[in-house]
Amino acid sequence: MSWDKVGKWIKENAGSGAALVGSILTGNIPGAVAAGVSMVSSATGTDDPAKALEQLQSNPETLLKLKELAFKEEDSIREHVRSMKEMELIDQQKNQEQTQLTIRNGDNAEGNIKWVRPSHASISLAAAIYYALFTNTPDIAILGALLTLPFTYSGLREFGKGSFGTLFKPKQNN
């Protein structure tokens, strides 16, 4: 078992007093996670995530002790949560910058390289149109695969992050 699962349980079940501890346990900043592990370990008396979760689930006094620790360290916890969110946003921004740089490099390429992406997108679009028009019952998965290149090339790379993004997110296994 991982501390991430303990953090998810705390966020869902501990209420507002300790939910921030759960947030830092599910983050990806080692210092923040270590601070969360330290608080949970102090409250439960163990540094084993499975035993800590069992203790939190079975003993309400342990959860109360964790809430007290979280209240004492609230400013520090909020700073950890803020830094996790900041790192996530910086990562998204860097990802977007790299995507744009890659696109610009392709657009500024010399010779035949410049026409590779538009050619692939055009051929894929023609195949999708042909498939949709001349197939009795087109399969939406095949049509979607054929339209991926033209949609990507035409700027719909970020479609999944927009208002319809929640429809296309895969379910996470807990």
Integer-rounded Cα Rg, in Å, for the chain is 24
Grade residue 163 by pLDDT with cuts at 50, 70 and 90.
very low
pLDDT in tens, 81-130: 788 888 889 999 999 899 888 878 877 888 887 788 888 999 999 999 99
pLDDT of residue 63: 81
Token readout for 104 is 């610009």
Is a pLDDT exceeding 90 seen at residue 7? no
Q: Is the pTM of this model over 0.75?
A: no
Position 173 confidence tier, pLDDT thresholds 50, 70, 90: low
Q: What residues does each domain of the chain span?
A: 3-83, 111-174
* C-alpha span between 59 and 41 (Å, rounded): 14
| pLDDT at residue 172, as a whole number | 55
The answer to whether 28 touches 84, Cβ cutoff 8 Å, is yes
Chain segment 65-79, per-residue pLDDT in tens: 888 888 888 787 778
